[in-house]
Structure 1
Amino acid sequence: MWDWATAACQRVDKINREGKSDLLVSGYSWHDRSTYTAEKLEDFQEFAYGGGLGKRISDENNNQEFIYGMIFADSHNQPQLQVGYMHLWYWPIIGELSAGLGVSLQLISRQDVIGGVPFPAPLPIASVRYGKASLIGTFIPRLNGQLNNGNVAYVFGRYEFD
C-alpha cells in the first residue's frame, strides 16, 4: 500500500545525493485584477523578493526533476517558506532555447493561511530555459467563489551551477 511513498522518498534521496546545484531567485506575484477589490490590491506588494537553493537531475532528453527550498516575501510582505519537488519536460525551440511544462508538489507555510502550518500544494508549472538560466512560472487558482482569493501567477528564476 505504501509502495508509492517509498518510491517517492527514494527518488528525492537520489536527487539530493546525485543532483547538481541550482540558485533560485524569487521574482513576481501577479494578482488577477478581476479577482481582487481595488482596496485589497492596494495592500499587496507584488515584488516577491527572496530566494532559495535546489538540486536537479536531468534525463537523456534533458528533462529535469528537482527539489528545492525557498523563502520569499508574500503579497503581505510576510515570509513565505516552501519546499518542494518539480518535474519539467522540455522541448527544444532553437539553439539553447527550450520551453517546458511540468508539475510541482510543495509544502507551503504562510502566516495568513492556517496560521503558518505547512500545507501541500500541487500546481502546474511552465518554464523557458536558455542555457543554464530558466524562468519558471505557476498559477495558483481560485479554489472557492470568494472575492480576494487565488488567481495568482508567480514567476521566479533559476540558475544551474554545474
Structure 2
Amino acid sequence: MLKKLILSFVALPFFVFANEGAESTSKNDENTGIWQGIKNTLSETWNSDKYELYIPANTWHNRATYDRDKIDSYNERPWGIGAGVYRFDKDGDWHALYIMEFQDSHNVIEPIGGYAYQTYWRPGNSDKWRIGIGYTLSITARKDYNWIPFPAPLPLFSIEYDRLSIQSTYVPGVKRNTGNILFTWLRWQL
C-alpha cells in the first residue's frame, strides 16, 4: 500500500497514457506494439515487491562552463531522499519507478520522479559487480521555473556492488552558467 501512495504521482500519467485505446486493440495486436510494450514494462515494474532508497550525494557544476562567482554561490551538496520500486528483467536489465527530492543549486527543494532503465556490463561475469548505462524519463519542477512541471529525459550511469549503487546523470546545458551538472546519488536496494 505504501508503494502505491508514494509512487502514484509518478506512475499514474504513464498508465493513463499507455492504457489509452486499450479497449479498441484487437486480440491479435494485444501483446505487440510500442504501447503494449510500455504498458507491460511499467506494470511489471509497478507490481514488483522490491524497493530502493535514494540518497543524493553530490552536484558538480562543470567548471569549464560556469563562471567562478556562480560556482562559489551554488550548493553542491544536494541533501534529500527518494524511494522507488525496481525489478531486473530476464536479460538482467534494471527497471524502476521512483520519486526523489533534493536541494538544488540554489538550496531550494526540487522534486523529481519517473521511470528509469539501465543495462549492465558485469566484469568477469560477476554476480555482484555491475557497470550500468541507461536513461530516465522523468518529470521535475523548480522554483526558478515557477514550479511548472517539465520533462527531464536524462542519461544514467552507475557502478554497483551487490545492492549498493553509485548512480549519476549529467544535465546538459546550452549556454554558459546553465545546465552542465553531474548529479550523483547512492541507491540502496532494500
Cα shift at 1:61: 3.3
Report the Cα distance in structure 2 between the residues aligned to 1:105 and 1:19, rounded to whole angstroms. 22
Report the Cα distance in structure 2 between the residues aligned to 1:60 and 1:92, rounded to whole angstroms. 15
Equivalent position to 2:143, from 111, 118, 124:
111
Residue-by-residue CA offset, 1:18-47 (whole Å, 9 max, x unaligned): 241001111111001121111111110101
Report the Cα distance in structure 1 between the residues aligned to 2:34 and 2:106, rounded to whole angstroms. 37
CA RMSD of aligned residues (A): 1.8
Tell me, yes or no, if structure 1 residue 87 matches structure 2 residue 99.
no
Tell me, yes or no, if structure 1 residue 128 matches structure 2 residue 128.
no
Report the Cα distance in structure 1 between the residues aligned to 2:78 and 2:70, rounded to whole angstroms. 17
Matched letter for residue 97 of structure 1 = W
Cα shift at 1:73: 0.5
Compared with structure 1, are the counterparts of its residues 12 and 61 closer, same or farther at alpha carbon in structure 2 (3 Å cutoff)?
closer
Report the Cα distance in structure 2 between the residues aligned to 1:97 and 1:18, rounded to whole angstroms. 22
TM-score normalized by structure 1? 0.90
3-state DSSP of counterpart to 1:42: helix
Tell me, yes or no, if structure 1 residue 139 matches structure 2 residue 148.
no
3-state DSSP of counterpart to 1:157: strand
Report the Cα distance in structure 1 between the residues aligned to 2:116 and 2:129, rounded to whole angstroms. 20
2:183 maps to what in 1?
154
Report the Cα distance in structure 2 between the residues aligned to 1:19 and 1:58, rounded to whole angstroms. 11
Cα shift at 1:90: 1.0
Compared with structure 1, are the counterparts of its residues 7 and 63 closer, same or farther at alpha carbon in structure 2 (3 Å cutoff)?
closer
Cα shift at 1:65: 0.4
Rg comparison, structure with higher value? 2
Equivalent position to 1:60, from 62, 87, 90:
90
Cα shift at 1:10: 4.5
Number of aligned positions between the proteins: 158
Gaps of 5+ in 2: 1-19, 22-32
Report the Cα distance in structure 2 between the residues aligned to 1:74 and 1:61, rounded to whole angstroms. 35
Report the Cα distance in structure 1 between the residues aligned to 2:62 and 2:73, rounded to whole angstroms. 14
Matched letter for residue 101 of structure 1 = I
TM-score normalized by structure 2? 0.77
3-state DSSP of counterpart to 2:143: coil
Cα shift at 1:5: 5.0
1:40 maps to what in 2?
70
Cα shift at 1:49: 0.9
Gaps of 5+ in 1: none
